Amino acid sequence: MNSPSTQFVSSRRMGVYDPIQQINMWGENFKSNVNLSALIGEADGKFINQPEDASHNTLGTSKMYGQEAHRPIDKIQRRLAQNREAARKSRLRKKAYVQQLESSRLKLMQLEQELNHARQQGLYMGGASDCNNLGFTGTVNSGITTFEMEYGHWVEEQNRLVCELRGALNAHISDNELRIIVDSIMNHYFELYRKKSAAAKADVFYVMFGMWKTTAERFFMWIGGFRPSKLLKVIVPLIEPLTEQQRFDISNLEQSCQQAEDALSQGMDKLQQTLGDTIAAAGPLVEGPYIPQMAAAMEKMEALVSFVNQADHLRQETLQQMFRMLTIRQAGRYLLTVGEYFQRLRALSSLLASRPREPA
Amino acid sequence: MQEAIPYRTTFHHSLITHSPSPASPRRDGMVAKMVADNAVIVVGRSGCCMCHVVKRLLLGLGVNPAVYDVEEKDEVGVRTELEALIHGRDKDEKVLHFPAVFIGGKLFGGLDRLMATHISGDLIPILKKAGALWL
């Protein structure tokens, strides 16, 4: 016959005893004294109205068979106690499950809200670009889907390269061998910029606002990526020792980079300003979806693609210039530090995402 | 060795800007003359934001570039005029992209080349040699 534990499992969700198991229990010990068939009939009738609480049955049991020998009663009592315990645990599990469902429901509502909000933003900015690539509007931006997939692979490959570089630097391999690894990492970065450029043509806002990056990385975002001068300022102190000449040259690089960034930022400000003016000048919407100013506004938005490309171009040039100014070993340390820095940012994002939310 | 140039944030320079207006429409040879006359000149479509970036970058370095805003109707004419100035060996090099920077009367390039040259530290010497910068 079924073991007690199996019975518990099957009736877990109901928190109710399986009457057959009870019958088995009783039947084992009181075969001679009990009308088994009568019991079964009774149990069937009781099945639907089976109370959750064990005490009823315990009372019933003791009332019916109280006059019997102690040993069998001990066994019964023990088993009933086990039943009670199992029922209690079952109730606790049910409670935990329900709580989990509730919190998941809340999270789902939150996510839906966020997505709707993002979709609204997408509609405001107009144009054919889908702000979110989840196909809510029925169209999926294949350029972005491709990029998302490629970026996933890129990060994996990047982690592998960083690991390899770390190993190589610790193992003190020859400069020529190190150069090969350094070159492959540099090319890997250049590959990313090419992919970003293609993605920007598909959906410039997706790239510009770093939808493909993790939350902590997005905090530092400047035109579709990290601010190159900031990266220099953060990472360079960590790759000492440097010669006096190197420190001087790097300082000049930081300044040139800052100047280029400021020029681009001012260009972005001008774009915002002219766009704002264009939309303000549009006047009341007339019949038809487009009016001249709206078309002009949309055209201006496309200028963002140039900005993303120029910003990436700046990042690439800065990286190449750093490479020219450092020895191969220093370049290796620089790339390792940069790689680890971004790994930490991504890890931070994961931690933030998995943190349990405080109840409101 | 590059001299460290203090970077000025808010900056109001009087730019020598020429744009054809209804009163003085673009005359043939006007742009070419401006290119020849100025140490640095930026030629771009009027209202273009990339042109603005080029201008601000040069201003930030202490250069006072001449600016020529090209109206849409004049674009073809200006382009022909300027491409004639370019001494390129093959046909590709003769194509002009806006915004275009001319230094010392010769086509230097667009924003790409400007930024790359600045990052490598070669821009300031070039500007000094053309007389656009004094220190």
Give the closest of B7, B56, B119 to A266, CB-based: B56
Optimal mutation site among B2, B3, B5, B56, interface A, most CBs of chain A within 10 A: B56
What ipTM goes with this model? Answer: 0.82
Q: Give the list of residues 6+ apart from residue A270 with CB closer than 8 angstroms, or none.
A: B49, B52
More confident position, B119 or A30: B119
- The CA distance from A270 to the nearest CA of chain B, in Å, is 7
- φ/ψ of residue B40, rounded to 5: -135, 130
pLDDT tens-digit map of A278-327: 877 766 665 555 667 777 777 787 889 999 999 999 999 999 999 999 99
More confident position, A46 or A256: A256
- φ/ψ of residue B43, rounded to 5: -110, 120
Tell how strand B40-45 and strand B106-109 pair up.
unpaired
Q: Report the residue of chain A nearest B1, measured CA to CA.
A: A249
Mean pLDDT, residues B93-111 taken together: 87
- Angle of helix A70-125 relative to helix A19-29, nearest 10 degrees, comes to 170
CA atoms within 13 A on the CB side of A101: 6
Integer CA distances (angstroms), B119 to A115, A321, B52, B114, B115, in order: 40, 7, 19, 9, 6
CA angle in degrees (0–180, nearest 5) for A257-A259-A265? 100
Optimal mutation site among B119, B120, B122, B133, interface A, most CBs of chain A within 10 A: B119
3-state SS, residue A22: helix
Mean pLDDT, residues A150-179 taken together: 94
Q: Chain B contacts of A255, Cβ < 8 Å?
A: 4-5, 7
**Cβ pair B70, B43 in contact under 8 A:** yes
Q: How many residues does chain B have?
A: 135
Give the closest of B9, B116, B121 to A252, CB-based: B121
The beta strands (E) that lie in chain B are given as 16-18, 40-45, 66-70, 100-103, 106-109
- Angle of helix A55-65 relative to helix A70-125, nearest 10 degrees, comes to 160
Contact criterion met (CB < 8 Å) for B115 and A310? yes
Q: Give the list of residues 6+ apart from residue B108 with CB closer than 8 angstroms, or none.
A: B101, B102, B114, B126
Query: What's the sign of the alpha-carbon dihedral A124, A128, A132, A135?
Result: positive
- pLDDT for residue A42: 46
Write out residues 264-293 of A within 8 Å (CB-CB) of B: 264, 266-268, 270-271, 274
- φ/ψ of residue B45, rounded to 5: -70, 140
Q: Report the residue of chain A nearest B5, measured CA to CA.
A: A255
- The CA distance from B39 to the nearest CA of chain A, in Å, is 21
CA atoms within 13 A on the CB side of B18: 18
A260 touches chain B (CB under 8 A): yes
Residue B8 has pLDDT above 90, yes or no: no
Share of chain A above pLDDT 70, in %: 71
3-state SS, residue B18: strand
Average pLDDT, chain B: 81
More confident position, B135 or A108: A108
Contact criterion met (CB < 8 Å) for B118 and A260? yes
Contact criterion met (CB < 8 Å) for A310 and B119? no
Q: Report the residue of chain B nearest A245, measured CA to CA.
A: B1
Query: What are all long-range contacts of A13-20, with beta carbons under 8 Å and residues at least 24 apart?
Result: A13/A90, A13/A94, A15/A52, A15/A87, A15/A90, A15/A91, A15/A94, A16/A50, A16/A52, A17/A50, A17/A54, A17/A57, A17/A83, A17/A87, A19/A43, A19/A44, A19/A46, A19/A47, A19/A50
Say how many Å lie between the first and final Cα of chain B, rounded: 13
- Quick one: tokens of A218? 């997005």
Give the closest of B48, B53, B119 to A266, CB-based: B53
- pLDDT for residue A5: 46
Radius of gyration of chain B (CA): 15
Contact criterion met (CB < 8 Å) for A255 and B7? yes
- pLDDT for residue A276: 83
3-state SS, residue B45: strand
Contact criterion met (CB < 8 Å) for B50 and A303? yes
Give the pLDDT band of residue A48 (cuts 50, 70, 90): very low
Give the pLDDT band of residue A125 (cuts 50, 70, 90): very low
pLDDT tens-digit map of B55-84: 999 999 999 999 999 988 888 888 888 888
The pTM score is 0.67
- The CA distance from B123 to the nearest CA of chain A, in Å, is 10
More confident position, A49 or B36: B36
Give the pLDDT band of residue A44 (cuts 50, 70, 90): very low
- The CA distance from A196 to the nearest CA of chain B, in Å, is 17
Give the pLDDT band of residue A11 (cuts 50, 70, 90): very low
- The CA distance from A271 to the nearest CA of chain B, in Å, is 6
Query: What's the sign of the alpha-carbon dihedral B23, B64, B119, A344?
Result: negative
Residue B28 has pLDDT above 60, yes or no: yes
- pLDDT for residue B92: 58
Q: Chain A contacts of B4, Cβ < 8 Å?
A: 251-252, 255
Average pLDDT, chain A: 79
- Quick one: tokens of A7? 């019975």
